[in-house]
Amino acid sequence: MYQQFDILTLACDLPSRSIVIECSHDVDEDSVSNDSILLGDESGNLINAAFVVNGKVITATLQDWPVANTEYSLLIQPLLKTIAGDGLKTAVKRKLVFKSTVLSTVSILAPANYETCLQPYLVWQEHSKNGEALISRYGIEISSDTGFFKIVTRTTVANKVSIALKTLLAGQYFARVRAESPSGDVGIWSEPVTFIIQKEGAIDANNDLWGPTIDKDIEIIEQPANGDTPSSFLFVFSEEVDPDAIGDIVVTRRVV
């Protein structure tokens, strides 16, 4: 007897930032993509994922961390097909919440946003919610991009609220911290801060003493926040930019 292709179960897991989708039939892996399976937040911003297909089961690992205890919308399009070529009869929509028992939040105290420093220390503070005990265990990510896709340092520390960033080379970085329980449950990431590491002896623009120089890329000082959809875009760089050296900029937008 013929059985219509359908979605049987859905499960999401915050520590692994994954969604597991169980289907009624073996799935054609070529039909699984960020066009056929879409996850959006309350503002309609999409979170891309990498997919692994194993027979009837699809595992989606999200490109970025979802926010704990926040509702997301999952849309599975009829583009998803079985190995026999049958698609879903209609789109499937579900609400997902990546639940966590870690409710405390973290704020970064140092370095200050856009601070230039020689030997920076990352300093943070945990804030209890509803008087609950502090976790005192933290996950830390340092990235060279605003989206935290190019991670240069990822670590976990316990019973301390600062670390020295000794191994980072000169350049611009972005940092965020969150509370993490010993069982692997995680809280919400702090607001990120960006800072610039300058090697000792580099040019100081505030005086006339010229020491040894270093080569470094132009840094972005200001840019639109991730998820914003402004009518125009403003980018501020650390140095003057030659307009003829900038090619076409393409802006794409996807909406659930």
Q: Which residues contact 177 (CB under 8 A, 6 or more apart)?
A: 106, 108, 122, 124, 138, 139, 140, 141, 189, 190
| Residues 86, 192: Cα–Cα separation, whole Å | 44
Domains of the chain: 7-97 (2.60.40.1220), 105-197 (2.60.40.10)
Q: Across the chain, what does the average pLDDT equal?
A: 83
**Quick one: pLDDT at residue 249?**
54
Q: What is the DSSP letter of 27?
A: B
Phi, then psi, of 243 in degrees rounded to 5: -60, -30
Q: What is the pTM of this model?
A: 0.66
Reduce the DSSP state of residue 29 to 3 states and report it: helix
| Residues 29, 32: Cα–Cα separation, whole Å | 5
The per-residue b/e assignment along 171-188, b for 16 or more CB within 10 angstroms, e otherwise, is bbbbbbbbbbeeeebbbb
Matching residue, tokens 């503002």: 43
| Residues 142, 155: Cα–Cα separation, whole Å | 9
The tens digit of pLDDT for each residue in 72-84 reads 999 999 999 999 9
For the chain, how many residues are written? 256
Q: 170: closest CA among 206, 109, 215, 207? A: 215
pLDDT, mean of residues 106-111: 95
| Residues 252, 34: Cα–Cα separation, whole Å | 14
The tens digit of pLDDT for each residue in 120-174 reads 899 999 998 877 778 889 999 999 999 898 999 999 999 999 999 888 889 999 9
Instruction: Report the chain's terminal Cα–Cα distance, integer Å.
Output: 35
Q: Are the C-beta atoms of residues 13 and 21 closer than 8 Å to each other?
A: no
| Residues 111, 123: Cα–Cα separation, whole Å | 7
Q: 36: closest CA among 92, 98, 85? A: 92
Q: With 80 as the cut, is the pLDDT of residue 233 above it?
A: no
Share of the chain above pLDDT 70, in %: 78
Q: What is the largest CA-CA distance in the chain?
A: 85
When pLDDT is cut at 50, 70 and 90, the band that residue 118 belongs to is: confident
